[in-house]
Structure 1
């Protein structure tokens, strides 16, 4: 082991605590009231006396507020952007106070480290889970709750708002909704400034296996069997589309799942890529909920900075867009169109690319490749 690797392995992990933020009632973008709202959040670093050294990190579609560090030193995995968040890293927690919050209708409400309100939550007015009665919630709703959280923490100004994928949508919403509070925007592997028609159709397909599951029952299944098989197939589609051919080729090529089980010999004999996806989905489905997933997809379809009295023209904060060359969900063209539109109105724009062949998720797992650009952007 090299001395550098030894030093890295000896560095203690950044430890973080999950906390809960509560508001008694919240009115959604669509005008619906939700009572007793609770969301989880995490913080890293310390807020200065002026309350102006904060960075907000908004999470991706199936993620959570756990963007860095560990809850316990023995945890096997760190938060998804641990490579760039922490002492001395690109988002330096010795300088910045980093905040991240769980969204409403989080995909994984069964995860003990996620705090959220959604279709699986008990409606205080009825004593039963909301189910299909839970309102559509949008990225703008998430941003308004984040603003309330930051106010409660004493944050007066944000040095930057950052986030990957769905978090990039929230990043631009921040730039439009609270332009006087945000110094910089860092949207990574995002949808641009609007949910484009192809993107709307693509994520709608994620929900189809759930909607076709006989246990779906219009989203009101909480008194009986859940649509588990539909959920698993939806998660499989999401997981595969979040990757790319180069990822599968490098990891699996055409290897069989079992050396003595030729797929030609029997239809049930699998290739390694198939069995691996099945294993990933089996684990993820333990914590996910079908109605939460469907509701979140429906909320993401609504995304449009120019809708509901908002305007792209309000976005004036310097912006660093980061894309992945092989992204098959948030195509580079989405971010390029956003960059062109922002530049045309005089907003300072920078561009960085993660030139890998692993697909959308390389915006999480290969983010260290653009750490120097992120560090320079925050100076």
Structure 2
């Protein structure tokens, strides 16, 4: 398959990695999971998620590593999906001879349910934009609510189908880090190591931020209570673009924004005309509009809800992880404006309080939260050592 969504995302985020080389070209596969009952008790008729792998599973099925993706990402964490396409977002640390060495490990990464990139033909997911077999029309908001635990359960079905008996590690950035933690709570005996990156507990403050992320979608008249699919209807692209604008700025740091300080695009004069734009506003508008064209508004809402339902089946974070895997490497970015340093510290203290062996590593750079997606190479040696333990 030709990968279209990730280049658009990479350009929007300023992470384009240059021309591809004809190595590590991987096949994107589709897992057909059959009927699936959600944790909320509803039934999805045909669960489908895309995935990619690198490396070989050993005879015991114990050398697998699962990589979970961030909120706006998909399974393209490593390798290339076409000879001229970009590398995956964690390609710097995953591959032959790299810190997550695919000469030793069988690495799997999968699209989540309700993936926001559903317009991209290289993303395979089941969600509100999927066709309901009972009606022949998209589910829209009749699609059942899914939680982070549902992401885990769909991935567990995939791993079972591949013959995986144990995970040497589960890891991922942001939403992927949350999935890693949810995995540790759900299947403690199945996992040896956990590496959440730029992630911490979802408390009420973060639930509120997630509501702010999605609010512009609901205010767009074209959203029409989710019923915008079909001929003659317009998708709520304006509201979706405004939602992505909030996410894009929230995921970056002041150091990144300095390049736009006092900047004004040619022909603009904000000091004289209220409708004119500053350079940072123009960049955010353009990046968000590009992202809106490659994503689905309803799926954005469902992804927000899944994040808000992080560890919702447990009375507390400590209770969820009391019996989880012992070895943890928590990777954070001190300038992260999404998962603040104090929240990461609280999570580490809680993990240690439940008897976990916790190591920490920090990411430097001007990208804030996005350092955990685009700037992982400097902690490569820490990851290699962690896997060697």
Q: Which of the five TM-score ranges fits, normalised by the shorter chain? A: over 0.9
Give the aligned partner of residue 81 of structure 1. Answer: 90
Q: Deviations over 1:245-265 (max 9, x none)?
A: 11110x32222222x433223
- Determine whether 1:66 maps to 2:76: yes
Give the aligned partner of residue 266 of structure 1. Answer: 273
- Determine whether 1:126 maps to 2:135: yes
2:22 and 2:382 map into 1 onto residues whose CA distance is 26
Give the aligned partner of residue 7 of structure 2. Answer: none
TM, length-normalised to structure 1: 0.93
- Residues 1:318 and 1:232: Cα distance change in structure 2 (over 3 Å): same
- Determine whether 1:203 maps to 2:210: yes
Contact 1:320-1:352 within 8 A present in 2 as well: yes
2:34 and 2:158 map into 1 onto residues whose CA distance is 13
How far off its partner does 1:268 sit? 3.5
Q: Residue 216 of structure 1 aligns to a residue in which SS?
A: helix
How far off its partner does 1:114 sit? 0.3
Q: Residue 243 of structure 2 aligns to a residue in which SS?
A: helix
Contact 2:216-2:240 within 8 A present in 1 as well: yes
1:364 and 1:355 map into 2 onto residues whose CA distance is 12
Q: Residue 188 of structure 2 aligns to a residue in which SS?
A: coil
Give the aligned partner of residue 116 of structure 1. Answer: 125
Give the aligned partner of residue 53 of structure 1. Answer: 63
- Determine whether 1:21 maps to 2:31: yes
How far off its partner does 1:14 sit? 1.8
Q: Residue 361 of structure 1 aligns to a residue in which SS?
A: helix
Q: Deviations over 1:15-61 (max 9, x none)?
A: 11110001121111111100111100000111122211110000011
Q: Where do 5+ consecutive residues of structure 1 fail to align? A: 1-7
2:375 and 2:169 map into 1 onto residues whose CA distance is 21
Q: Deviations over 1:131-187 (max 9, x none)?
A: 111111111101111111011111111110001101111111111111111110000
TM, length-normalised to structure 2: 0.90
Question: Of residues 178, 195, 198 in structure 1, which corresponds to 2:187?
Answer: 178
Contact 1:176-1:315 within 8 A present in 2 as well: yes
1:168 and 1:316 map into 2 onto residues whose CA distance is 15
- Determine whether 1:311 maps to 2:287: no
**Pairing 1:1-379 to 2, within 5 Å after superposition:** 12-75=22-85, 77-192=86-201, 195-223=202-230, 224-249=233-258, 251-258=259-266, 260-304=267-311, 307=314, 311-379=320-388
Q: Where do 5+ consecutive residues of structure 2 fail to align? A: 1-17
Contact 1:325-1:357 within 8 A present in 2 as well: no
Deviates more, 1:123-132 or 1:268-277: 268-277
Q: Deviations over 1:329-351 (max 9, x none)?
A: 11122222121111112111111
- Residues 1:315 and 1:157: Cα distance change in structure 2 (over 3 Å): same
Contact 1:306-1:312 within 8 A present in 2 as well: no
Q: Residue 149 of structure 1 aligns to a residue in which SS?
A: helix
The number of aligned residues is 367
Contact 1:57-1:162 within 8 A present in 2 as well: yes
1:253 and 1:127 map into 2 onto residues whose CA distance is 51
Contact 2:264-2:279 within 8 A present in 1 as well: yes
